């Protein structure tokens, strides 16, 4: 129940971020729904295909589809309350990657993958939905820019396995890793921390 709750919360967070991007691009209702859907299930779909978990999760359990529909309606109805779309998008996207990183890692562990593969799977789970969303909305995906995004997922995922080595209960390590991903992303944006820019070196 704990892991399902985390998964659903991640679905909600990414669906809202999809709605915000779609509304910013002034898409129609169908477009908003599709972008929200793709953002919410894109990473999970890739994850399940890679580990051979088919049919993929959202096809086997209507909870995910229902959650996305309800979230879309909620986000549209209360869009006027989200005065700063960019800030709201950033917040929900950040929460989403924190939650989905650990959902992906948990799925990797269930598939008996090595920790490094679990971290890679968690990073893909967290990132791919947003990548697909941005491509469909004609934006350069955040993961391909210099911002700390996938790096936060990798460090957060690694921290989970590190915490387990100190005999910290699995659930607490799980929650701590989620918070680490979220905090790293927030701090990176707040203090303009980014990966090195290779183009500046070439220009020099």
Among 93, 89, 125, 100, smallest CA distance to 178 is for 100
Helix/strand/coil for 147: strand
Is 204 part of any domain? no
Mean pLDDT (the chain, rounded): 90
Is 202 part of any domain? no
pLDDT in tens, 103-132: 999 999 999 999 999 999 999 999 999 999
Taking each helix axis as running N to C, give the angle between helix 29-50 and helix 2-24, from 0 to 180 degrees, rounded to the nearest 10. 140
Tell me how crowded residue 116 is: count the other CB atoms within 10 A of its CB.
Answer: 13
pLDDT in tens, 118-170: 999 999 999 999 999 999 999 988 888 766 889 999 999 999 999 999 989 99
Number of domains forming the structure of the chain: 1
Is 188 part of any domain? yes
Return the DSSP state at 43: H
Is 203 part of any domain? no
Beta bridge partners of 194: 147
The DSSP annotation for 103-138 comes to HHHHHHHHTT--HHHHHHHHHHHHHHHHHHHHHHTT
Range of the domain at 13: 2-197
Under the banding of pLDDT at 50, 70 and 90, the label for residue 189 is confident
- The residues, ordered by sequence, that sit 6+ positions from 52 with a Cβ below 8 Å of its Cβ are 111
pLDDT in tens, 10-51: 999 999 999 989 998 999 999 999 999 999 999 999 999 999
Residue indicated by tokens 């789970």: 125
Is 177 part of any domain? yes
């Amino acid at each position: 129940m704990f892991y399902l709750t985390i998964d659903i919360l991640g679905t909600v967070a990414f669906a809202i971020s999809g709605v915000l991007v779609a509304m910013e691009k002034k898409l129609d209702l169908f477009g908003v729904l599709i972008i929200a859907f793709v953002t919410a299930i894109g990473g999970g779909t890739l994850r399940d295909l890679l580990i051979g978990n088919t049919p993929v999760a959202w096809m086997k359990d209507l909870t995910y589809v229902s959650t996305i529909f309800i979230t879309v309606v909620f986000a549209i109805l209360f869009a006027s309350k989200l005065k700063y779309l960019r800030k709201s998008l950033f917040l929900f996207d950040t929460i989403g990657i924190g939650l989905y990183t650990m959902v992906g890692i948990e799925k990797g562990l269930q598939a008996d993958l090595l920790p490094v593969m679990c971290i890679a799977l968690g990073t893909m789970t967290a990132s791919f939905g947003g990548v697909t969303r941005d491509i469909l909305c004609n934006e350069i995906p955040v993961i391909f820019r210099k911002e700390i995004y996938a790096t936060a997922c990798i460090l957060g995922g690694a921290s989970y396995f590190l915490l387990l080595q100190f005999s910290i209960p699995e659930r607490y390590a799980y929650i701590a890793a989620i918070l680490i991903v979220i905090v790293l992303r927030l701090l990176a944006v707040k203090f303009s921390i980014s990966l090195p820019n290779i183009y500046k070196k070439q220009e020099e």
